[in-house]
Structure 1
Amino acid sequence: MQNQYRLGIDAGGTFTDFILADRKGGVRIFKALSTPGNPTEAIRNGLATIQEETGLTPETIVSNADLCINGTTVGLNALITHTGARTGLIATLGHEDSIEIRLGHKEDGYRYDPDYPPATMLVPRYLRRGIAGRVLSDGSVHTPLDEDAVRDACRHFLREGVESVAISFVWSVLHPDHERRAAEIVREMMPAVHLTVGSDLYPQVREYTRTSTAIVNAYLAPILQRYVHAVDGYFQSLGARHPVRYFQSNGGLALGSTVSDQSVYAINSGPASAPQAALWLGEPWGMRDIITVDMGGTSFDITLTRDGRANVSKNIDFLRYRIGIPMIQVETLGAGGGSIGWIDSMGLMQMGPQSAGSEPGPACYGKGGTMPTTTDANLVLGYLNPQGLVGGRLPLDVEKAREAIRIHLAEPLGISVEKAAYGMFTIVNNNMVNGIRRVSVERGYDPRDFVLNCAGGATGAHITALAREMGIRKVLVSKLASGLCAFGQIISDVKYNYMAPAPIRLEGAESAARLDALFAGLETRGREDLAGDGFAADRVSIGRSLDMRYVGQVHECTVNVEPFEITEPSLDRLKAAFHARHEELYTYSEPNSAVEVVNVESAITGAVDKPGRMELPAGQGARGALIGTRAMIFDASGIPHETPVYDGALLGAGDRISGPAVIQEVTTTIIVEPGWLAELHHSGVYVLTLGAPVEASQPAELAAETV
């Protein structure tokens, strides 16, 4: 039984998802309520649920698994709630306040709002120490490092109980010796402290970004270190033969030791696996342009793949903190099943970003929640099974949902509960559509050229409405949709990013040789690291990117290129790639202008064996899966229509269902709106296509189209 299983665990704000795959292509999904106060408890509870349903003990699964993979929100939650480690900063004298000055930038949307509060500083002013010593922009030393000042800073940090220290000096990427000497002193005087050195973590030009990234890493490192220690220890106690892998924000797996040291890579680890899962699902049809939307209990996450490559962002403001390292671009909104409906000062209905979470949860959960949420609205609209969610494990109370909507929304607005519920549904959809536009339209992509992929337990109730609003005519919904990020983790590869500053103008043989040598050095390191991780040379692949700009521009854009030998003639390939990307982003290019590189990066990937693909037997026609009808509301009139309900477990490959209809899977509910046709593929994926409209009042026996 060795290497029989693969286990993926994705901890969300409301639910923690578990995907258990075997070598034969069997894939099953399980859920447990998240336990933010003790994240490992949710893992224990989930494994207990798996044992209850399959008879497989946690020891049997873990000791016979080739990989156990964990995507965690521990770092994200610490950043959101400002509960990270007490952190000190050692910076160049005079630059202690760069993280507050923030390049004079105020977040988009608040630039002219004088009442918008400043971001909470992860390192308060009294824990920032400026150190004399200055490196110039050519890498030469202008002023030697004041080592006594570093020692004074350490003594101050010891008095203040600092448990993590970030070091970031100006132009350290060109001359890192000052940072390294300061690090030696910190290690001597504070051996128990966690240390982040900016030029090691993020060796890229831009001092503010490097300093902010180092601070975020230092702030989260002790939290992730304790989490990794607890999870690794728990899995070792179950007999794990291989180390736990953790999912990173760059879209790849890493060992716990890497995540502990480079904690900033674990901030958005959960949703970052969605693009990989989306490409896996779309592979049978050759789909490579996919937008994935993931609506859970707390948030709504959006990712995009174009031509099989996920959008990667660098130098972004995440939760108001500048982070330079490459991250799968995930647009996150406060729009989940627990999003609370409320009325603003103008008397207008709003949805979120406040969330009822898992405790107390939506009113219909019956756990003490009294505020109306998206889940309550979907229940009142008839979209959700009133018998309960997760196969009945989570019972729902329709009357409590109606009461919450009536008291807080319907009566104050003078409308019916049904109209208020549909208004909630429409507003939360509009919020999500705006997020999809930011990932697609604002990045230069037309969403109508993409397939919309459904992830998350709550998304299926909204997916066809979202696609219709965006002009998208094809939707994918996997039977594993509610745990798609956990599934994405078990099919992902190990990935590490290696960076270097490269202030080089793309002219001449010398510039080409410098660039080629930089990439060669980074990729040699990457191959050696992956070889030490057990990967043969033929399992390693390389991707390159360059931060480039026209000479004289303030900001650069990232250009992805395939690896090739860089010679003077091949510089034209780099220029052409940059011109094309610049035009894609900004609608123009300047082919006659000089181009320069600022930074370079190599992404080194070690390929992991993939589990088998799900294979469903041929269906016998959708009529056999029809289990009744339910009154459902599909427009602002609030008038319900009897709508057919299908049991997804009774559908087989090739079965087709015309909307309006609802398909009930164990962990998700799929609303097929009027005008849509759903067909179940043998890989376990529903393909929904916008076709001829079907009246919502059509009798149930005419709504099933079988082949």
Structure 2
Amino acid sequence: MSETEILGVNNMRSKYRLGIDAGGTFTDFVLADLDGGVRLYKSPSTPEDGTRAIRAGLEQISQDINKSIEDIIAQCDLCINGTTVALNALIEKKGVKMGLLCTSGHEDSIEIRLGHKEEGYRYDASYPPAEMLVPRHLRRPIEGRILSDGSEKIALDEQAIREAGQYFKEQNVESVAISFLWSVRDPSHEQRAKSILEEMLPGVFICTGSEVYPQVREYTRTSTTVINAYLSPVMAKYVEKIDDFFSGLGAKYPVRYFQSNGGLAIGSAMRGRAVNAINSGPASAPQAGLFSAAPFGVDNIITVDMGGTSFDITLTYEGQTNLNKNIDFLRYRIGVPMIQVETLGAGGGSIASVNEFGMLQVGPESAGATPGPVCYGKGGTKPTVTDANLVLGYLNPDAVLGGTISLDRKAAEDAIREHVADPLGITVEKAAYGISMIVNLNMVNGIRRVSIERGYDPRDFALVCAGGAAGMHIAALAEEIGIKEVLVPKVASGLCAFGQTISDVKYNYLATNPMRLDTGADINSLNESFLNIEKQGRENLLSDGFKEADITVARSMEMRYVGQIHECTVNISSDKIDDKGLDKILADFHDRHKSLYSYAEPMNPVELVNLESTMTAHVAKPAQPKIVPGNGDCSAALIGPRDMLFDDSGGWMNAPVYQGPLLKAGDCIQGPALIEEPTMTLVVRPGWRAQLEESNCYRLIQNE
């Protein structure tokens, strides 16, 4: 049986699909089957060797379904790995020693950073500069110059390249980035430099700007290429180890890796493009959110993922998730498309304190997994959001995560009293509610940044809950921002791993073709640019085992008014562009500009800067899960009442608590109430109701 038959959009012939999301604390595993069954498992992450955590998770699966690990892998049509390897290497500065070849005079562009300084530190002279991934002595200037029209002004100095290669060899560099001016118009200088270095430095990873980021913006292209060179050898070793691990277990098909653009890629594509995996973890959440929302006919969703340390937000409009390009990530400019993820230091472990101005603040400092919240009894002394949720009655003091952790409510109260309540002169209960309210407002502000500030009204969206801690806050967030409908999949605490199992293979192909889009625009050149990059993408996907019918194309163009510095992205049709099509593109640009910046200038000329085609090979999806319908009687799932606090009045409510695994499709819980799942707690606030749908998803709706 060919891989095409396995992966094609019309087929899923193997029994299972495995999604693995390797996070900083836990590695999540989701095993989906043909019938829509979904099983969730968690294993402690092992950053020093990812295969150890994977084996531990596979052993859990093996024991649960009574099959050997080898049988499970043999029956998987896709084994998908989302990893933080590249991200962690960038955070911890554990990439490889590398060199940079650049156009003479531009050795310091990555340090000058276009004069950019992070928001909040613009006028702070003491704020330290970003740490350079390439030390100054390993940035080597090369004479040679391509102009913006693609012509050669100065011939390439090959002797300087050889001298740089010899120096890199003496310095034991493990990778080299090459980025020359206007290589996107003519890459021949970069290609020749790469050829020379490959001869001189066997075994050293080498990449060029015209390969990694073939678009206008010299600083962005150089920075992106440097990051890719810094991380790719690390990623290559990881991919090789994971591929060998699954091959040793008898996997029939290559492991897929999750990219920051929201799609899958084979290992060979990831080895030399580590920059595409930097944000791979949260990038799969929107796919899972869309899958969960599909039975309700909803394709406008905001997915929020609240874990122990962070809160990740993504927005999807009409089935399309926002993508970011040219962003500063961990103080480094990255140009390649990434799912727009707004990340806040707001998780269950976020620490609450009273600052020097006598005001309550929550985060971004986190207690993490070690020592963790005070109530975990692992040595934590500072109160966290989890401690506040325990004091408010939202958490069961006897069991969390299936009974593996017992919580100490008194310790949580004492910590909140010492660090928050007494300094503010308020009760412990008010302090706990204040902690919850502050973290909620922080999260709401993040939601506004990905919605309102990008021209979307959040009230037009459903809120999708992800992460083990989000269920206790999700209804409050919806109330604050005006969203009337919330979806909470039962697999919420492992939503990213689930999202991997229903994601498609996706590659972004970039090009640049600067031109005025008024009278005299070279439409033939524009069409040719798109066809060239799409031909490359189509060939790669066909060789990857897909059929032509499985492949779709989405195009976009980055445009601006003549004289502007920055562009805005407009999605366009994948049809051949003609005069009528160009008029439609210009009208869409004016509309998009107005939605982003509140004004448009239809009389001003527009110019194209960059263009992009996203090539997607659609993978067969597992069936939607279906659970047994109930008769409306939820009494069998009722555990008993618990006192809970939902506002700062001190008015405790005796609210019922239900065991989620005992609820059936159609069962409806009126708030105030609490639903406890093995890896998630869902708070149903007063004025809300939660109904468990046939698709194994809770639907929270605010009462009229």
Q: Tell me the residue number matched to 2:29.
A: 18
Q: CA deviation at 1:545?
A: 0.6
Paired with 1:162 and 1:387, the residues of 2 have a C-alpha distance of: 54
Indicate which of 42, 45, 53 corresponds to 2:53.
42
1:153 matches 2:175: no
Deviations 1:283-326, CA, capped at 9 Å, x for gaps: 11211111110001121100001111111111111111111111
Paired with 2:196 and 2:509, the residues of 1 have a C-alpha distance of: 26
Is the CA contact (8 Å cut-off) linking 2:515 and 2:521 kept in structure 1?
A: no
Q: Tell me the residue number matched to 1:671.
A: 683
Q: Tell me the residue number matched to 1:298.
A: 309
Paired with 1:432 and 1:225, the residues of 2 have a C-alpha distance of: 36
Paired with 2:368 and 2:268, the residues of 1 have a C-alpha distance of: 31
Paired with 2:651 and 2:385, the residues of 1 have a C-alpha distance of: 19
1:369 matches 2:380: yes
Deviations 1:630-685, CA, capped at 9 Å, x for gaps: 12121224453321100111111111111111001111110011111111110011
In the superposition, the TM-score normalised over structure 2's length comes to 0.95
1:32 matches 2:48: no
Is the CA contact (8 Å cut-off) linking 1:341 and 1:371 kept in structure 2?
A: yes
Paired with 1:154 and 1:545, the residues of 2 have a C-alpha distance of: 38
1:624 matches 2:624: no
Identify which range, 606-615 or 424-433, moves more after superposition. Answer: 424-433
Q: What is the RMSD of the two structures over their aligned residues, measured on CA atoms?
A: 1.7
Q: Tell me the residue number matched to 1:402.
A: 413
Identify which range, 620-629 or 658-667, moves more after superposition. Answer: 620-629
* Residues 115-130 of structure 1 aligned to structure 2 (within 5 Å): 115-130=126-141
Paired with 1:120 and 1:410, the residues of 2 have a C-alpha distance of: 40
Q: Tell me the residue number matched to 2:275.
A: 264
Is the CA contact (8 Å cut-off) linking 1:168 and 1:214 kept in structure 2?
A: yes
Letter matched to residue 443 of structure 2:
M
Q: CA deviation at 1:281?
A: 1.1
* Structure 1 residues 14 and 337: CA distance shift in structure 2, 3 A: farther
Q: CA deviation at 1:371?
A: 2.6
Deviations 1:400-452, CA, capped at 9 Å, x for gaps: 33343334333443433332222221111111111111101110111111111
* Residues 34-433 of structure 1 aligned to structure 2 (within 5 Å): 34-433=45-444
* Structure 1 residues 37 and 340: CA distance shift in structure 2, 3 A: farther
* Structure 1 residues 279 and 104: CA distance shift in structure 2, 3 A: same
Is the CA contact (8 Å cut-off) linking 1:245 and 1:255 kept in structure 2?
A: yes
Q: CA deviation at 1:523?
A: 1.2
Deviations 1:322-344, CA, capped at 9 Å, x for gaps: 11111111001111112122232
Paired with 1:85 and 1:335, the residues of 2 have a C-alpha distance of: 31
Q: CA deviation at 1:490?
A: 0.6
1:688 aligned counterpart, secondary structure: strand
* Structure 1 residues 567 and 580: CA distance shift in structure 2, 3 A: same
Q: Tell me the residue number matched to 1:567.
A: 578
Paired with 2:91 and 2:257, the residues of 1 have a C-alpha distance of: 20
Q: CA deviation at 1:38?
A: 3.3
In the superposition, the TM-score normalised over structure 1's length comes to 0.95
Is the CA contact (8 Å cut-off) linking 1:18 and 1:486 kept in structure 2?
A: yes
Q: CA deviation at 1:517?
A: 0.8
Q: Tell me the residue number matched to 2:5.
A: none
Q: CA deviation at 1:499?
A: 1.0
Is the CA contact (8 Å cut-off) linking 1:507 and 1:571 kept in structure 2?
A: no
Q: Tell me the residue number matched to 2:661.
A: 649
Is the CA contact (8 Å cut-off) linking 2:62 and 2:72 kept in structure 1?
A: no
Paired with 1:382 and 1:52, the residues of 2 have a C-alpha distance of: 35
Paired with 2:251 and 2:378, the residues of 1 have a C-alpha distance of: 36
Identify which range, 282-291 or 121-130, moves more after superposition. Answer: 121-130
* Residues 585-600 of structure 1 aligned to structure 2 (within 5 Å): 585-600=596-611
Q: CA deviation at 1:37?
A: 3.6
Paired with 2:223 and 2:135, the residues of 1 have a C-alpha distance of: 13
2:493 aligned counterpart, secondary structure: helix
Is the CA contact (8 Å cut-off) linking 2:375 and 2:387 kept in structure 1?
A: yes
Paired with 1:508 and 1:331, the residues of 2 have a C-alpha distance of: 40
Paired with 1:244 and 1:382, the residues of 2 have a C-alpha distance of: 43
Identity %: 60
Q: CA deviation at 1:610?
A: 0.5
Indicate which of 661, 664, 670 corresponds to 2:673.
661
1:270 aligned counterpart, secondary structure: helix
Is the CA contact (8 Å cut-off) linking 2:34 and 2:623 kept in structure 1?
A: yes
Q: Tell me the residue number matched to 2:4.
A: none
1:115 aligned counterpart, secondary structure: coil
* Residues 548-563 of structure 1 aligned to structure 2 (within 5 Å): 548-563=559-574
Is the CA contact (8 Å cut-off) linking 1:13 and 1:298 kept in structure 2?
A: no
2:207 aligned counterpart, secondary structure: strand
Letter matched to residue 230 of structure 1:
K
Letter matched to residue 629 of structure 1:
P
Paired with 2:46 and 2:170, the residues of 1 have a C-alpha distance of: 34
Letter matched to residue 599 of structure 1:
N
1:634 matches 2:621: no
Paired with 1:118 and 1:630, the residues of 2 have a C-alpha distance of: 51
Q: CA deviation at 1:25?
A: 1.3
Paired with 1:341 and 1:224, the residues of 2 have a C-alpha distance of: 36
Deviations 1:198-248, CA, capped at 9 Å, x for gaps: 111110011000001101111111121111112112111211111110110
Identify which range, 36-45 or 481-490, moves more after superposition. Answer: 36-45
Paired with 2:428 and 2:315, the residues of 1 have a C-alpha distance of: 36
Letter matched to residue 568 of structure 2:
C
- The size of the alignment, in residue pairs, is 692
Deviations 1:530-575, CA, capped at 9 Å, x for gaps: 0000000100000001111111211111111120111233211211
* Structure 1 residues 510 and 547: CA distance shift in structure 2, 3 A: closer
Paired with 2:491 and 2:160, the residues of 1 have a C-alpha distance of: 56
Gaps of 5+ in 1: 693-707
1:161 aligned counterpart, secondary structure: coil
Paired with 1:395 and 1:78, the residues of 2 have a C-alpha distance of: 34
Is the CA contact (8 Å cut-off) linking 1:301 and 1:331 kept in structure 2?
A: yes
Letter matched to residue 673 of structure 1:
R
Is the CA contact (8 Å cut-off) linking 2:512 and 2:609 kept in structure 1?
A: yes
Is the CA contact (8 Å cut-off) linking 1:315 and 1:322 kept in structure 2?
A: yes
Letter matched to residue 54 of structure 1:
I
* Structure 1 residues 679 and 2: CA distance shift in structure 2, 3 A: closer
Identify which range, 222-231 or 366-375, moves more after superposition. Answer: 366-375
Q: Tell me the residue number matched to 1:700.
A: none
Paired with 2:60 and 2:424, the residues of 1 have a C-alpha distance of: 43
Q: CA deviation at 1:87?
A: 2.1
Paired with 1:457 and 1:16, the residues of 2 have a C-alpha distance of: 13
Q: Tell me the residue number matched to 1:475.
A: 486
Letter matched to residue 274 of structure 1:
A
Gaps of 5+ in 2: 1-11
Letter matched to residue 366 of structure 2:
S
Indicate which of 464, 473, 479 corresponds to 1:462.
473
1:526 matches 2:537: yes
2:164 aligned counterpart, secondary structure: helix
Is the CA contact (8 Å cut-off) linking 1:312 and 1:327 kept in structure 2?
A: yes
